[in-house]
Amino acid sequence: MVEKISPELAEGTPFALFGHSMGAVLAFESARRLEKEGRQPAALFVSASQAPSLPWPPPGTPSAREADDAALTEDLRLLSEGASPVLQHPALLELARPALRADFLMLEGYEYTPGEELACPVIALAGDRDPRVPVDSVRPWEEETDSDFRMRVLPGGHFYFEDQLPQVLEDSSTGA
């Protein structure tokens, strides 16, 4: 999943990784790879993502392989709580659907491999109304680190940060 990471990353400068939704899995695999190379992140922030050890799609959720365009549109409506501007513009929706399907297919194809726990802290952020990533599916991120683990549940759905951006940025800068 993560093929190449810039060698300039972590040349003595502290850095953290942040990933939202599918990006959290990419950030996690990047952190694993960086730590193997001796370039440890200061922290890994995972947002709106179930722990990588849990199966995707969650039980009761249809596979993206089986979903037609209408089902993907409904999933976007559900994830965005109906507020996505993409839903109001058919041409944008046509452009967004393939990317949404690709994200879901990538998650479905991801094979978690148990390994050494991360040495960096993991900070998990979640929305209290996320229809695809319930809070109890975020807690197992704790098992991916032998360092500190903190979890912050904020008001909102899958895109909670749209209303909570100042809090997310504050949490990210303080590592809380």
Shared domain check, 166 and 97: no
Shared domain check, 165 and 128: yes
CA 174 to chain centre: 20
**Residue type at position 27:** A
CATH number at residue 150: 3.40.50.1820
Task: Identify whether 7 is part of a domain.
Answer: no
Residues 6+ away with beta carbon under 8 Å from 42: 14, 15, 16, 120, 121, 175
Structural domain count of the chain:
2
Question: Counting Cβ atoms within 10 Å, is residue 40 exposed (0-12), middle (13-18) or buried (19+)?
Answer: middle
Mean pLDDT by 10 residues, the chain (176 residues): 57 86 94 92 96 85 81 82 80 87 88 95 95 94 97 91 70 59
Which residues does residue 150 pair with via DSSP β-bridges, in sequence order? Answer: 123
Phi, psi torsion values for 155, nearest 5 degrees: -65, 135
Residue numbers annotated as active site:
21, 158
Shared domain check, 153 and 122: yes
Predicted structure pTM score: 0.85
Shared domain check, 159 and 120: yes
